[in-house]
Amino acid sequence: MDLQRTRDLSLMGLWGPNVIGVSSPTAPGSPSGDPHYSPLHSAPTAAQPDKASIFADLTPAELRAVRDFLRGRPELGLSAQRRDTLAQNTLFLVELLPPSKRAALRYLDGDSPAPRRQARAVIFFGAQAEPNVTEFVVGPLPRPRSYRPLHFKGGRTVPFAARPMMMQEYELLHRALVVATEPLYRLLRDNTGFWYHNCTQHCLTFSDIAPRGLAPGERRTWFILQRFVEGYFLHPVGLELLLDHSDPDPLRWAVQSVWYNGQYFSSPQELAKHYECGTLAVAQLPDPAAPHLFSTYIPRGHFTTGTATNVHGAKVCEPQGRRYRLHGNLLEYGGWSLAFRLRSSAGLQLFDVRFNGDRIAYEVSVQEAIAFYGGDTPAAMQTKYMDAGWGMGSVTYELAPGIDCPEVSTFLDVHHLYDSEGPRRFRRALCIFELPTGVPLRRHFDSDFRGGFHFYAGLEGHALVLRTTSTVYNYDYIWDVLLYPNGVLEAKVHATGYIHATFYTPGGRRYGSRVHSHVLGNMHTHLVHYKVDLDVAGTSNSFETMDISFENISNPWSPGARIVQPWLRRQPRRTERQAALPLDAPLPRYLLFSNPRQRNRWGHMRSYRIQHHSHAGRVLPRGWKEEKGIAWSRYHLAVTRHRESEASSSSLYNQNNPWEPAVNFESFIRNDENIEDQDLVAWVTVGFLHVPHAEDIPNTATPGNSVGFFLRPFNFFDEDPSVASQGAVIVRPQDPNFTRLEVQRWTPDSAGPCVAPEPFSYNGTYWPV
């Protein structure tokens, strides 16, 4: 008998008499009887369950209610319309202020009432004699009645110069650059074919650099001028200007320095004079579109094999419907449940993360992403981007089905009130989908070592993905949280988008790679910081590291001989300083958070492990001026006691005042508190060095450019919890000749189309609503 045919018949006869231990053939995730099931391609509309809704982002109605309430307070003096001056009071940001952890847990785990919903509001007070930035708590929602200042740790106020940029300020800067570049019209027209002053088609644009100065109180920015074509980040023209815009009155702004093609000048007029006199080393730039625009995505070139790329490749499908459930902002999948939000200030934030009812973490959230550069131009050497200061969570533009996320994903809109008159709708800013990992979660082929086998068993690999993106000007970050059926959570970020490039000079090769005729790809280090508020089987946890050491012992079964073998070296970390693991030292391979009062069946403390996937390195020497604003970057991992006053490791204001940061992470561990049997927060740093190269044109590709960490159970369960998954397959031979095989399955054969035949659609708008 044909063995392959017998195997196929066994698989086809899934529900036949040869299959044992098989449950009813109802597909997991079947819509039958589920009132919250939603068909493919449509977002669920079920009402939010009370428990998760305390973490839900503010609705458009709540955002407008906060705005209108604050505008109605005459003592705040908020301007309804923005004028051609920064000397006015402006509402900049409104977002949810999550409840305190204590209040949330009393509600989630007990009978206490739900905490009142409150908002965080940021106001720029530019109309005062001493301008400043103040944050307020506004509530209760949905009908706010009161507000009070929200103070940073230590009660420090935020200087006006530390504020993030607004579109109003960018418009005023654009006008200032129009005036500043007017004397350079001939230089720019003759040598680049583009200009800034009075242009219509061949226009220049700019990228601005931060921090904006060298000391507190300064607000002077280097601007890189670029040709405004697709991918303008790769088209610098060799001109950079330093503009002081610290005064609220733009009429007092002034250019302080000019750099052109390796030379410094005191003003645009001086540079123009050298050009008119013929004493300037001029950079003649070719037509950017000859022979093609190298910064575009339009296909060019070919693959030598000739295999087809003009047809669709493999797709994700859900042959029997979704296997996850979404109730408002509550996400459930297998053993997992969690609440999520997308905050405007810093991005994705998870709360009340549980597996089979056990809370693993109270919060997992993105805190900050930085990119620190080196270069030969003044803008390059000043570039130290701290992306939370650019509203990293507010630039969550639309995700494209089939490219950014599989077509079968659930897409969710979000609303931001960030530097706008009212809430803006960002379509499809989040997506959720189940991903076949392409590798079994586990498997084994049990060979008989005689050409046959005793059994084969495998469990298909899947993960649920929660994804969003942040496009912070040139760079695109893809933020993922993956939930695996064995109790593992992965947080991961992919870096893509355009590199931050400057004008090529011979000295630039020390700081990167020449990637086009006049373009230098500047070296930089990406670091990303996460907050992981672990509640491993409760809020009383301890932290220890574990690695191996070697022992040299007498051989007990061979007198006179010795054995060298590894043993587990456990090191309890009893204080915050002991638990701050520096970035420039080797990281212990096991980082364990345990509940001393909870043990599994085998007597081990129930624990979860943080496992880094990172190539992070230092970006500045410790204690250097700007390094104070990213003090968290000193550590692979730091562990602190939970404090409501230490809610975030960074802030909107550290970018433009890193010298006296509003949040200094080092203060979190300075008091060196005891962390044994306490409510602990882990602060995780991951990152990588990026030396740009020719293959970063037109864009940085994602393969190899992802970092993150895993939360992995370590003696938390009595066995792998994924044994509850019914996706396993077991094959057993039924006779010595392997002519009959028993195939045991708990899932039916795939049924239905793989991908719904809906056309591609996209809408990139984010209009006010």
Which sign, positive or negative, has the C-alpha torsion 417, 420, 421, 427?
A: negative
Q: Which value, in Å, is the radius of gyration of the alpha carbons in the chain?
A: 29
Per-residue DSSP letters for 695-739? GGSS-B-STT-EEEEEEEEESSSSS-GGGG-S-EEEEEESSTT--
Cβ neighbours for 523, distance < 8 A, ≥ 6 positions apart: 373, 374, 511, 512, 689, 690, 691, 692
Which residues carry out catalysis? 387, 475
Which tokens belong to 89?
């009071």
Cβ neighbours for 243, distance < 8 A, ≥ 6 positions apart: 173, 176, 177, 180, 220, 221, 223, 253, 254, 255, 256
Per-residue DSSP letters for 321-353? --SEEEETTEEEETTEEEEEEEETTTEEEEEEE
Which sign, positive or negative, has the C-alpha torsion 369, 214, 164, 140?
A: positive
Angle, vertex CA 114, rays to CA 146 and CA 359, nearest 5: 130
| Residues 224, 380: Cα–Cα separation, whole Å | 9
| Residues 5, 525: Cα–Cα separation, whole Å | 56
Angle subtended by helix axes 185-192 and 268-276, to nearest 10: 60
**Residue 111 half-sphere exposure toward CB, CA atoms < 13 A:** 0
In angstroms, the Cα distances linking 328 to 47, 75, 99, 412, 704 are: 6, 37, 18, 10, 34
User: What's the DSSP call for residue 295?
Assistant: T
In angstroms, the Cα distances linking 3 to 342, 559, 734, 735, 737 are: 54, 54, 12, 12, 9
| Residue 719 near residue 539, CB atoms below 8 Å | no
**Residue 422 half-sphere exposure toward CB, CA atoms < 13 A:** 13
Name the residue type at position 768.
P
Task: Specify which residues 690 forms β-bridges with.
Answer: 524
Buried b (16+ CB within 10 A) or exposed e, 633-652: bbbbbbbbbbeeebbbbbbb
Q: Taking phi first (over 0 means left), then psi (-120 to 50 degrees means alpha), and beta for anything else, what does residue 144 get? A: beta
Length of the chain: 769
Nearest C-alpha neighbor of 577 from the set 624, 634, 520: 634
| Residue 90 near residue 78, CB atoms below 8 Å | yes
Which tokens belong to 37?
């099931």
| Residues 135, 123: Cα–Cα separation, whole Å | 6
